[in-house]
Structure 1
Amino acid sequence: MTEIEDTLPGPFGALRSQLLDAAAAFAGEGTGGADPVPGILAGLVEDVDRALREELEIFPVCHHSPASALAMARRLREKRPAVIYLELCEDLRPLLDELRNCRLPVALQAFATELDGFPAEWSPLSVVAPVTEASAEYQAIAYALDTPGVELVLVDRSTDHVFQWQPRDDSPADGGEPAAGGGEPEDGVESETGGEDAALHGDAVGIEIGDLRPRFAELEAHLLHHGKVRHWSEWWDQYVEQPLTGADYDTYRQVMVMIGSLFRRLRPERDARHDRDEDRERYMWTRMREHLAASGADPARCLYVCGAFHAASRVEQFGLRADTPYEITPRTATRWQYGLIPSSHSAIEAQFGLAPGSVSIAAATWAKAVKGGGVTPYRLKGQKGEKPKTVRTRRAPEPGGPVADRLSGFLSRPPAPNGLDEDELLGWCVDIVRLARRNGYLASTADAIAVYETSVLLAGLRGRGRPTPYDFQDAAVTCIEKDTVPGRRDVRRLCEILLGGDRVGQVGYDSLPPLARDVLDRLEPLGLDLTKRTIQRALLDLDASPELRPCSDLLWVLRRLLPDNAVRPIMGSRRLGERPIQESWDLDLGRHQRSIVELGYEGVTIEQVLERRLRRTVADPKATAAVALTAVEDAILYLGGGRIADDLGNRAVELLAAERTVDDAPDVLRRIRRLLAYYRTTQATLPKWCERFVTAGYAHYCTLLPTAFLDEDTGVRQVAAMLGFLFSMESLALSLGCDHSQLELAVRQSHPEAPARIALLWAARSQLGLLPVAELRARYDELLANPLVVPSIPLYLSGFVQALEPVPSLAPVVVEVMSKAFARLPDPVLLPWLPKLITTLRDEAAELVPVLVREAGRMFPASLPAVDAWVPPWSARRPAASVPAPVPASAGAAADLVAAHPAVCDAVAGLLGYDAGWRPAPGGAGHGPVAALLAAHDGTAHAVAALIGRP
């Protein structure tokens, strides 16, 4: 206590002495000099005195506070300042002139996608600063913009510095500039105003004037407990907002600075925002001194509007007379785009961790105070929305003379009690019952009475003279809401709608970026008001009204770039080679104005934005050939192809040649087939990049094929897609100079061990003629006959099914082997495999199922009676010749030729489906079906012998 002076020169000396005496009495004896309470209490008074003695008048505010807005409106009419310094990012100043074209609330936004000086993973960077009508900053902006000769200067750090001061190990989206409560919902309060309106700001970093919330968790919990409230917004409204709404300017100013000083001194020592807050204060005071020196303005005619937390600053740069320099670092080379986006009450609450409905209640408090308090607020000329009523302004006396101590009186006497406004409360109760009935609740007049009485009871229990909107909310939930919510809205949400609603702003046409205006102009032939926040149905008959075809093209581009529910096709599709006749769309562009505005930061036209995004996608280091082919397809569908499609295709060739895995082989095969089919039907010749892609892919997959067969990390689907590419593109690749022996060598070098891959290799060898179909059937029959291999038969079958991709002609064999498996496999093996077979076909080979079904339909009987007499083709017995037919003497030369080359004869007989049964007889001719075949067709034998030069 001895280190603290007992007196303070100026009007606050007596208050300081009273607080020190109270601290000493509270602490008692035995604490020594370690008690921090006297220092804190004395510091509060010192901070207030310091702020009020500053030559430049400081106006402390709290964000979205009706009391701050009312005090600002009164003070501006009294002081008529010539310069207003506003705590807002200095590079947002040009946007303020566009506010007159908008309907509040809206948010000022800075946006950057191409970063220079920041981590690439932070992209895109976005900063928003919401503006509502019930805010002190809007009153200052409206006054400055509509009053001739008044200059508005934004002095807070730029948006670039917001991210410069962000630690590199944090993500800006995770709270680079958190709100008072850390950007999280208030304790005990669940967000019930979610949905699209609450997400209007996206993951942008929020900037607001006047961050007033305790950063000491224990202090906030203490205030909520003793204030008998549930969350901070309710405490602030009850104990600060309402008492200051009708207070004079000096009282308002001193109380706000004291609260800011209290929260500042009671924050944790290791507060992560401490250094950032002080750097902001140094930045703002440096900018103000620079402006005063450059402009020569009189500080007495200036007003500094900042958060109450910053008004109690103790940095060495505080005040105009401070001479401590502060170096402002230059901005990075990041190119920032600026614009206005729609905002809403729920979006502000979600952005800054406020209680649901608190901003709506603040707006209702503002409207009531304006109506009954005799204050005419400032409003930008031409502002969209309902005009406020003009009432008589009760002009306060001009400030002059020394500052009086209003803080002592405010702290020593209780606030004047406000009587119960029965008419207001009765209106709330009747209206909430009406709203509840409309939303499915079985509410009645008795419920309205119960809500009224419960509101009064809750206010009395909480020590309030009149029920607040929060008391009314709690009472309505208690009396009306039952076990379930019958509709989309619960009672708490209905109360928010009743007390002001979730007002949603809108950016005017003149304030939109060129791209957004271009979109609205090009969609004008639809005859719809796309600024409405409702879903509208657009019907396009493109044959009867060909002038609507450009609208259809634009809608498909918007479908590609905007969220799914912004532009949704109901009828119609866009695929390569297809030309739609009719289309039907559900358009909800009014609710997604923010997304369209942000597209305007990337280009002048929507097509330019899409082209830049496609090029950026394929240029990404993580891009693959499949991604590039997707970009080529999008370029054809939405941009008409041409040069951009060729550029993207060339990039696809480079990516394919550089790939070391085949994970995307199925996607590559599907897309290149589709693109080749499109080009063959629309152009005389294939583009050069397509030819290069086929040749590069043929060589690439041939090289990787032996490794892929053995690699356990490569799926069977991927290997099948590789073979599908090689076999389906082989004719084109060979015509472009590729070598068939490369493929054959790759297949011969493949030696898989897994059953599914072995079956796939058999199919590939069969396609190349290295494995006859009869031998393939024989190998499978051997597997079925081997008891040790039977449990692995389903794996072989999976490989055979995947083999339909590269070898679709093998469909009869696949149906045969699957039928044999169903007939011969025991149930313990077959039944567990069936679900896996179904999921495999659905997930990996859905396009192969129709092939199997068609082949099975061709092979199996078409009617039920024919099933009993049906014999599977693979099990039919063929009659064998018991007595070999005599061989004519004239066929001796041919018989000698056959006898000299028995292997060839066996191979030909196998291809024809015969069992050669080669057993040379003493006469040189073979017995069995071969001998009979030669005897029956001796003329053919002679012709063949003559062709090869044998008699």
Structure 2
Amino acid sequence: MSDVPESHEHESREHESRTTATPFAALRGQLHEAATRFADGPEALEGLLLGMVDDVDRALGERLEIFPVCHHSPASALAMARRLREKQPKVVYLELCEDMAPLLTELRNCRLPVAVQAFASEIEGLPAEWAPLSVVAPITEASAEYQAISYALDTPGVELVLVDRSSDHVFQWDSRHEQPKEPKEPTGEDTASPAAEPAEAALHGEAVGVEIGDLRPRFAELEEHLLRHGKVRHWSEWWHQYVEVPLGDSDHDTYRQVMFLIGSLFRRLAPGDGDRVRVDEDRERYMWTRMRAHLRATGADPEDCLYICGAFHAASRVKEFGVQGTDTFAISPRTATRWQYGLIPSSHAAIEAQFGLASGSVSIAATQWAKNLKRTRVKPYRLQGQAGTKKERPTKASAPAPVVPAAATDQLSGFLSRPPVLDTLDEAELLGWSVDITRAARRNGYLASTADAIAVFETSILLAGVRDRAKPTPYDFQDAAITCIEKDTVPGRRDVRRLVEIMMGGDRIGQVGYDALPPLARDVHDRLAPLELNLQQRGVRRALLDMASHPELRACSDVLWILRRLMPAGAARPIMGERRLGERSIQESWDLSLGTHQRALIELGYEGVSLEQVLEQRLRRAAYGPQATTAQVLAALEDATLHLTGRRLADELGARALEVLASERTVDGAPEVLRRIRGLLAYYRTHEPVLPAWIESFVKAGYAHYCTLLPMAFADEDASVRHVAAMLGFLFSMEGLALSLGCDRTQLELAVAQSHPKDQAKTALLWAAQVQLGTLSREQVRTCCAELLANPLVVPSYPQYLSGFVHALEPVPGLADVVVEAVSNAFGRLPDAVLLPWLPVLITTLRSNAAELAPLLIREAGRIFPARLAALDTWVPPWRQQQPTAAASHGLASEGVALLPAHPATCDAVADLLGCTDGWGARAEEGARGARLLPAYPATCDALADLLGCDAPWSSATRPPGTAALTAEYPDTAQALAELLTGP
């Protein structure tokens, strides 16, 4: 590989040998005089100017004809169509990724613009963080590459050879990851118009764009100089004014020399970016190496060949340049990355966004292409069957036109010295534009009239004159329309600039035909055929599925739910119906826009041959990723259960969830784990005869795992109260199953006993856990809350205790009445300075972290509080009602002392039921057993009365007999006891 100094030395020797050459001798003399006159010394400027002429002379002298082009340039496309009909080459070398060649024949099944794409999701030999890899090459009808492809594919005996680096080499040579990203400097392109609509500009996604003819100054000062002196705002307008229009009517020799000269200028004034210069030169070495290898292998005559490349690469100075160049460049082998190829829809806005062009410039270029064809009557090449039209095969000339000799005639001198052509104003065209934009403005809410149309017409002429233009360009007309119609307000969704772009052709969006789709995309359309919708078209289609009347639509429903899981939002959006574990809708309504999201559907085809295969691969990738959490694995398992038949993958992911859970040392995913394992457990309990082995192992391992982490989580400041509540929720809700599988409840009791939180919310959560375990009574919790409210030093932190109680409803839902009581006491007793700042925190907590707990609180509050407003005045909270005292209970028991000796068996039965094992004491008399029992156990008497429903005064004779649980087991005893307690 030659370095830059050797290249410059080779160039100086070549310049010395050509100073006396005839074709450009006059031009060299003029440039030498200009350099001597305007520069401080002739060396620097003369070397630049004469070097550019040498580049042109060198490119023209190459035996294999080089055809320089610019990306999406109508002038290049027109010159290409004209040259192909004149020369009729037998071999066409095209600057495009060589591995994309087999896909070009599918272009005839598409509506342009589309992009040829290479896609790789499984990477080997390249950095894994780059995945997925994507390379696109957009193709429009007004492009030179499309003319060459159409000619080569539809002309018998013509071979099309792609010679640019492969998609794999694009990333092999990519060194951008080694450099820190710098903020992009604003250019004139960014100020041309508002950004393109996201849906249109994102058709290429994050793909790397490959274009033929990246012809734009890489020297910022040069571009700024050209824009300022050209009196234009952005590069697209400069190119249209000073290159497209003049070259539109030029002959072949003039076109080639001008494009060679521009490519040489931009190449010589490019900044000395070592990586980018190296990549550019390696691309040129790569292409010439491939072409020489093909010529040797096929024996083709270089004079029968045509090499189409960007003007920037045409004026190359590498040693490998030309048919007689050296073969010293070694092409590195491709990596083991598996590439997939296909066609994706493109659009004018997507091309502009990806390659930094001004908004609307590609649409204007398409309009210019149509005008050039109409004016010059050149017949363009078009693939047979393109856009549904037939095309006749071009008749090959009996004798091809003679090849341009190496020593071409100097056309640059006349072109550069010729003043701008003063074309007569095409008033009919400009009048049509003015009328059309006024009509469009009125439809979009502007108060435009005929006077505005006249103003736009005159202002366009005025702007063209101010900018030294013989004829208003579309950009002049656009500025005039904005000035005269839009003024300072935009009444509708579109501004005038956008209306002009639409009028000039709009954002034409391509479409990939059914035959050119990958197998997965075709399979999706086939499986959705019963819906009887044209899903190829862009826009939203409404699908109504009545599975009760048409059971065959269930297969369509399955496809749509998988598409919703795999494709971007909006591609398949359910309006009615849902799919959850154990639930299937009998009627569904969908909004489908598969035509709009065709690119995403095509890229699914690169990952597999069916939707189920792609879904399984993605679920495995998510579950076995290095950063996978237990919650993510359970989410993948739930999706597998919902969308895939069979238990194989679900069981495999369940085992994987068990592995990930054992390796986790944090509790960040506890809430999600609890929610998903509860749903899966409920599903398997209702839909399977037995629980899967993995879920039993998961519950058993999770019980031990969270018991181990519980003390640490209570003390860890990074573990929030929500996470700890979720852990307790798992332990308490799964406790029955875990104990049946062999777990020990003592482990949980020890974990709670070893927990010593410092946070107030976690303290309240610990109290709730102790209540659930039975080590703390509800009355003790009430007492603790009352003491907190009575302590002025603790009152400011009381809301934090309440937050803990709210989260405690997750593991201990039976504590809802205590939580309602604590919140009610807070509202009644907390000062406003504490209560008011806490209210937003409470609402936020309920909405974000405990939304599922709010119904439980509301339901409990509705049970406790009065249902009508009139009853509120006399209502007394249950927690404030006077409970029967011990003395009163003792008095009530004394009234029944005389009744017990008559029924000693009743006292024995009650004592056995209530656990009274102390015995009767001294038994002086057999009939004194009942008389000594109740005075000794007054609380027992009260409890028994409550159980039997004896809530009226003891003297009441109308109270009904008890109907509690005891009556079922001891009917005779209960009846006798009821009669004794009610009295006569």
Task: Give the TM-score taking structure 1 as reference length.
Answer: 0.91
Structure 1 unaligned residues grouped into runs of 5+? 898-903, 906-922, 945-951
Kindly indicate whether residue 158 of structure 2 is the aligned counterpart of residue 150 of structure 1. Answer: yes
Query: What amino acid is the match of 1:216?
Result: F
Alpha-carbon distance change, 620 to 873 in structure 1, aligned in 2, over 3 angstroms: same
Q: Which residue of 2 aligns with 1:446?
A: 451
The alpha-carbon deviation at position 775 of structure 1 amounts to 1.7
Partners in 2 of 1:635 and 1:930 — Cα distance?
57
Residues 376 and 392, structure 1, Cα contact 8 Å, conserved in 2: no
The alpha-carbon deviation at position 323 of structure 1 amounts to 1.9
Q: Which residue of 1 aligns with 2:963?
A: none
Alpha-carbon distance change, 932 to 163 in structure 1, aligned in 2, over 3 angstroms: closer
> What SS is found at the alignment partner of 1:538?
strand
Q: Which residue of 2 aligns with 1:125?
A: 133
Partners in 2 of 1:447 and 1:393 — Cα distance?
52
Identity of aligned residues (%): 68
Alpha-carbon distance change, 721 to 18 in structure 1, aligned in 2, over 3 angstroms: same
Q: Which residue of 1 aligns with 2:232?
A: 229
Q: Which residue of 2 aligns with 1:306?
A: 309
Partners in 2 of 1:690 and 1:171 — Cα distance?
48
The alpha-carbon deviation at position 268 of structure 1 amounts to 1.2
> What SS is found at the alignment partner of 1:215?
coil
Per-residue Cα deviation, 1:614-661 (whole angstroms, up to 9, x for no partner): 011101010111101111111111113521111111111111111111
Deviates more, 1:234-243 or 1:872-881: 872-881
Q: Which residue of 2 aligns with 1:347?
A: 350
Residues 88 and 401, structure 2, Cα contact 8 Å, conserved in 1: no
Q: Which residue of 2 aligns with 1:772?
A: 777
The alpha-carbon deviation at position 414 of structure 1 amounts to 1.7
The alpha-carbon deviation at position 876 of structure 1 amounts to 1.2
Query: What amino acid is the match of 2:172?
Result: Q
Q: How does 1:734-749 map to 2 (within 5 A)?
A: 734-749=739-754
Residues 185 and 350, structure 1, Cα contact 8 Å, conserved in 2: no
Per-residue Cα deviation, 1:434-482 (whole angstroms, up to 9, x for no partner): 1111111111111110000001111111111111111111111111113
Residues 65 and 307, structure 2, Cα contact 8 Å, conserved in 1: yes
2:50 equivalent among 30, 42, 49: 42
Q: Which residue of 2 aligns with 1:620?
A: 625
Alpha-carbon distance change, 410 to 750 in structure 1, aligned in 2, over 3 angstroms: same
Kindly indicate whether residue 104 of structure 2 is the aligned counterpart of residue 96 of structure 1. Answer: yes
2:375 equivalent among 363, 372, 377: 372
Q: Which residue of 2 aligns with 1:518?
A: 523
Partners in 2 of 1:935 and 1:317 — Cα distance?
106
2:244 equivalent among 218, 241, 246: 241
Q: Which residue of 1 aligns with 2:81?
A: 73
> What SS is found at the alignment partner of 1:846?
coil
Residues 182 and 353, structure 1, Cα contact 8 Å, conserved in 2: no
Q: How does 1:544-943 map to 2 (within 5 A)?
A: 544-880=549-885, 881=887, 884=891, 886=894, 929-930=938-939
Per-residue Cα deviation, 1:203-247 (whole angstroms, up to 9, x for no partner): 100000001111111111111111111111111111111111111
Pairs aligned (count): 911
The alpha-carbon deviation at position 792 of structure 1 amounts to 1.4
Residues 384 and 392, structure 2, Cα contact 8 Å, conserved in 1: no
Kindly indicate whether residue 46 of structure 2 is the aligned counterpart of residue 26 of structure 1. Answer: no
Partners in 1 of 2:230 and 2:576 — Cα distance?
58
Partners in 2 of 1:935 and 1:524 — Cα distance?
72
Q: How does 1:69-218 map to 2 (within 5 A)?
A: 69-167=77-175, 169=177, 186-218=189-221
The alpha-carbon deviation at position 535 of structure 1 amounts to 1.1
Partners in 1 of 2:941 and 2:671 — Cα distance?
49
Alpha-carbon distance change, 732 to 187 in structure 1, aligned in 2, over 3 angstroms: closer
Residues 115 and 139, structure 2, Cα contact 8 Å, conserved in 1: yes
Alpha-carbon distance change, 321 to 867 in structure 1, aligned in 2, over 3 angstroms: same
Query: What amino acid is the match of 1:149?
Result: G
Query: What amino acid is the match of 2:82?
Result: R
The alpha-carbon deviation at position 266 of structure 1 amounts to 0.8
The alpha-carbon deviation at position 10 of structure 1 amounts to 3.4
Alpha-carbon distance change, 136 to 36 in structure 1, aligned in 2, over 3 angstroms: same
> What SS is found at the alignment partner of 1:338?
strand
Partners in 1 of 2:309 and 2:759 — Cα distance?
71
Q: Which residue of 1 aligns with 2:925?
A: none
Partners in 1 of 2:943 and 2:137 — Cα distance?
94
Partners in 2 of 1:14 and 1:146 — Cα distance?
43
Partners in 1 of 2:647 and 2:519 — Cα distance?
26
Alpha-carbon distance change, 41 to 781 in structure 1, aligned in 2, over 3 angstroms: same
Query: What amino acid is the match of 2:263?
Result: G
Partners in 1 of 2:491 and 2:627 — Cα distance?
48
Residues 720 and 803, structure 1, Cα contact 8 Å, conserved in 2: yes
Alpha-carbon distance change, 633 to 40 in structure 1, aligned in 2, over 3 angstroms: same
Alpha-carbon distance change, 388 to 472 in structure 1, aligned in 2, over 3 angstroms: farther
Partners in 2 of 1:607 and 1:250 — Cα distance?
57
Kindly indicate whether residue 26 of structure 2 is the aligned counterpart of residue 14 of structure 1. Answer: yes
Q: How does 1:246-261 map to 2 (within 5 A)?
A: 246-261=249-264
Partners in 2 of 1:338 and 1:581 — Cα distance?
39
Alpha-carbon distance change, 793 to 404 in structure 1, aligned in 2, over 3 angstroms: same
Residues 92 and 308, structure 2, Cα contact 8 Å, conserved in 1: yes
Kindly indicate whether residue 414 of structure 2 is the aligned counterpart of residue 416 of structure 1. Answer: no
Kindly indicate whether residue 534 of structure 2 is the aligned counterpart of residue 529 of structure 1. Answer: yes
Alpha-carbon distance change, 930 to 492 in structure 1, aligned in 2, over 3 angstroms: closer
Partners in 2 of 1:863 and 1:792 — Cα distance?
33
> What SS is found at the alignment partner of 1:319?
coil
Partners in 1 of 2:691 and 2:943 — Cα distance?
50
Partners in 2 of 1:878 and 1:500 — Cα distance?
85
Partners in 2 of 1:931 and 1:62 — Cα distance?
100
Partners in 2 of 1:734 and 1:171 — Cα distance?
58
Alpha-carbon distance change, 430 to 271 in structure 1, aligned in 2, over 3 angstroms: farther
Query: What amino acid is the match of 2:98?
Result: E
Partners in 1 of 2:634 and 2:248 — Cα distance?
63
Partners in 1 of 2:196 and 2:272 — Cα distance?
35
The alpha-carbon deviation at position 783 of structure 1 amounts to 1.7
The alpha-carbon deviation at position 324 of structure 1 amounts to 4.4
Partners in 2 of 1:702 and 1:746 — Cα distance?
6
Kindly indicate whether residue 387 of structure 2 is the aligned counterpart of residue 384 of structure 1. Answer: yes
Residues 84 and 153, structure 1, Cα contact 8 Å, conserved in 2: yes
The alpha-carbon deviation at position 391 of structure 1 amounts to 13
Partners in 1 of 2:404 and 2:723 — Cα distance?
84
Q: Which residue of 2 aligns with 1:495?
A: 500
> What SS is found at the alignment partner of 1:36?
helix
Query: What amino acid is the match of 1:11?
Result: P
> What SS is found at the alignment partner of 1:634?
helix
Residues 184 and 352, structure 1, Cα contact 8 Å, conserved in 2: no
The alpha-carbon deviation at position 110 of structure 1 amounts to 0.3
Alpha-carbon distance change, 379 to 877 in structure 1, aligned in 2, over 3 angstroms: same
Residues 531 and 589, structure 1, Cα contact 8 Å, conserved in 2: yes
RMSD, aligned α-carbons: 3.1
Q: Which residue of 2 aligns with 1:469?
A: 474
> What SS is found at the alignment partner of 1:838?
helix
Partners in 2 of 1:382 and 1:767 — Cα distance?
76
Residues 74 and 396, structure 1, Cα contact 8 Å, conserved in 2: no
Residues 134 and 362, structure 1, Cα contact 8 Å, conserved in 2: yes
Query: What amino acid is the match of 1:203?
Result: E
Residues 679 and 686, structure 1, Cα contact 8 Å, conserved in 2: yes
Partners in 2 of 1:785 and 1:604 — Cα distance?
70
Alpha-carbon distance change, 389 to 458 in structure 1, aligned in 2, over 3 angstroms: farther
Alpha-carbon distance change, 585 to 738 in structure 1, aligned in 2, over 3 angstroms: same
Query: What amino acid is the match of 1:7?
Result: T
Alpha-carbon distance change, 250 to 777 in structure 1, aligned in 2, over 3 angstroms: same
The alpha-carbon deviation at position 556 of structure 1 amounts to 0.8
